[in-house]
Amino acid sequence: MNNPRKPIDRFHAIIPAGGVGSRLWPLSRASAPKFLHDLTGSGQTLLQDTWDRITPISSDKRTMIVTGLAHEEAVKAQLPKLSTANLVIEDSPKDSTAAIALAAAILAKREPDVIIGSFAADHVIQDSPAFQAAVAEGIEIAATDKIVVIGIQPTEASVGFGYIKTGQALAVTGAPSALAVEKFVEKPKLDRAKKYVESGKYLWNAGMFIAPAALLLRQLAKSEPELHAGILELAAAWDTDQRAATIKKVWPTLKKVAIDYSIAEPAAAAGLVAVVPGKFSWHDVGDFAAIAELQSQGRKNNLAVLGSARVLSDSSSGILVSDTKRMIAVIGLEDVIIVDTPDALLVTNKENAQKVKALVDSLKATGHDEIL
């Protein structure tokens, strides 16, 4: 039966704002993860940029944030237009399925025909109109009872992202770019990534998707029935005086699983997933090398500076990030990464940027929690 409401009127955005971003230590910490920082020099945090990018489609009143207890006050301070009803606080980190499915279930309880869209709080997208055009197409496709992902045209054979294998074009009114999804593939090795890019049939998986909440929850029930039952129990109590007691009872029992495994991959195998190729630049700013690339805008001999430091640079390139006022001099270093904070200093280079996570794991193992 056709829904009398326009798809766009059913749309409600969800912004999962979680994760520590340990590859961006010591700037990103458990108490202040990367989405709470300005990593682009825009004057706004990544969270604020995400909000401003999606609310022209969803509106302030139809945008929900899912975040951790430690970040509640910072999120409220950064997003003054966020309503209390649209702030979901996770009791502890449970990976993406619990966060997104709980938000979807709460919204479906309030509005059974809602179409939700999930957009991470820590991505950088520089062409908001193109992003919004892709989301608008995705909403139209989702209204045909599909899960829709927004894929990114690869600019290189990256081994840092998962890929989406595209299939035939889909005939959906209002969505001329719609393609079927044949399958999702894990982060590949370099030789395979090169073949994916050369084929022209693969897109990067940016983790953005749009779907009817009811369809999302049906898929979760098939793949993770116990997790689904827990999510529904939480959603049923969420807008009642039983919320706190139900969280205490149910939250610890929820399985940690990424939404790629619980919903996206099984749905693709069942032919229920479509993709809209995003015609915009996209960065997940996963490490300092990515930030350096973003800041230098391809100028290899440039030392990009982010933050408040006073800097003297001679014959140096890379990035310097600081939240101190000290003078920093850099001479004759190429592709350097310097991150200066009041209680920790990181010095490395772009080639080793991915190793910062291992360093953080080592600090954690040796009991240095006070700087994590």
- CATH value at residue 99: 3.90.550.10
48 secondary structure, DSSP code: H
Residue 237: predicted pLDDT: 97
Average pLDDT of span 185-200: 91
Give percent above pLDDT 90 in the chain. Answer: 72
Residue 329: predicted pLDDT: 93
**Cα separation of 285 and 324, whole Å?**
22
Residue 13 and residue 52 in one domain: yes
Residue 86 and residue 153 in one domain: yes
Q: Which residues, other chains included, contact 8 with Cβ-Cβ below 8 Å and sequence gap of 6+?
A: 57, 136, 139
Q: Which of 260, 283, 306 is the last residue of a domain?
A: 283
Q: Which two tokens stand for residue 138?
A: 């995705």
Split into its structural domains, the chain has a count of 2
Position with higher pLDDT, 371 vs 230? 230
Query: Is residue 180 a part of any domain in this protein?
Result: yes
Q: What is the DSSP string of 200-256?
A: T-EEEEEEEEEEEHHHHHHHHHHH-HHHHHHHHHHHHHHTSTTHHHHHHHHGGGPPP
Residue 243 and residue 297 in one domain: no
Number of Cα atoms under 13 Å in the Cβ half of residue 301: 2
Task: Read off the pLDDT of residues 257-266 as tens digits, 9 standing for 90 and up.
Answer: 999 999 999 9
* Cis preceding-peptide flag for 26 (omega within 30 of 0): yes
Domain limits at 356?
A: 288-371
Query: Is residue 1 a part of any domain in this protein?
Result: no
Task: Read off the pLDDT of residues 110-124 as tens digits, 9 standing for 90 and up.
Answer: 999 999 999 999 999
Residue 195 and residue 318 in one domain: no
Residue 34 and residue 154 in one domain: yes
> Do 268 and 162 form a contact (C-beta atoms < 8 A)?
no
Report the predicted TM-score, pTM, of the whole model to 2 decimal places: 0.92
Residue 345: predicted pLDDT: 94
Q: Which two tokens stand for residue 350?
A: 């772009």
pLDDT above 60: residue 1: no
Residue 220 and residue 275 in one domain: yes
